[in-house]
Amino acid sequence: MIVLAGTIGAGKTSLTKRLANHLGTKAFYESVDDNPILPLFYKDPQKYGFLLQIYFLNRRLQEIKDSFSNDLNVLDRSIFEDSLLFKLNADMGRATETESDIYDSLLHNMMEELPDQRHQKAPNLMIHIQISFDTMLKRIKKRGRPYEQLDADPSLYDYYKQLNERYQKWYEDYDESPKMSINGDRYDFVEDPQASREVLAQIDRKLESLGLK
């Protein structure tokens, strides 16, 4: 299993599709457009924050189980990112510290590897896509989801800025599996076919170094 990680607008879905096609495996996508809780969360984060995290946790665990059919299936979001997102919400008063602590404990217990499992829950490789804050804002505006737009809610600016800043520290501290980072500003694999080929070549080399290809 390969998982993608990165802030909003990093290009996780685009790279997931390209990488799965490149490897001849299956892609699994984060539930966003059909997520019934996400629009409610943007309207009232304090009320729906914890429910949203539990929804994502349930969906991501199901995707992990579904991906067991092939060790190189690609998931467009790492389950380990959710704690980062929820902790930020708690720090900004959109959730409580108690809710954040309960979520972290639940995640830890549910991700604990059991001796008799055929497949591990942690990925074989985590790929982090790093983008600048400016690129993040441009892509959020371009994809046009109404509840994500700064015009509709200017307070999202601080949330997006802190989120982008925290992702680098999160990547540095991540130790659940082998990892690599892609510079999403330097390699615009979403728009540039040559950049896409270069990124896939980087991933190929990493998989080969891990004995996964």
- According to the annotation, is 7 in a ligand binding site? yes
Please give the order of strands across the beta sheet that includes 2-5: 27-28, 74-75, 2-5, 125-130, 179-183
Q: Is residue 74 helix, strand or coil?
A: strand
- According to the annotation, is 65 in a ligand binding site? no
DSSP β-bridge partners for residue 128: 5, 181
90: Cβ contacts below 8 Å, ≥ 6 apart: 96, 97, 99, 100
- According to the annotation, is 30 in a ligand binding site? yes
User: Max Cα separation, the chain?
Assistant: 51
- According to the annotation, is 118 in a ligand binding site? no
Is the distance from CB of 125 to CB of 178 less than 8 angstroms? Answer: yes
- According to the annotation, is 42 in a ligand binding site? yes
Alpha-carbon dihedral sign for residues 75, 43, 92, 87: negative
- According to the annotation, is 44 in a ligand binding site? no
Catalytic center residues:
76
13: Cβ contacts below 8 Å, ≥ 6 apart: 29, 30, 76
CA 116 to CA 164: how far, in whole Å?
38
- According to the annotation, is 82 in a ligand binding site? yes
- According to the annotation, is 8 in a ligand binding site? yes
- According to the annotation, is 27 in a ligand binding site? no
- According to the annotation, is 96 in a ligand binding site? no
CA 206 to CA 210: how far, in whole Å?
6
- According to the annotation, is 98 in a ligand binding site? no
Residue ranges at the known binding site for ATP: 6-14, 139-143
Binding residues for substrate: 30, 42, 53, 77, 82, 148
For the annotated binding site, the residues are 6-14, 30, 42, 53, 77, 82, 139-143, 148
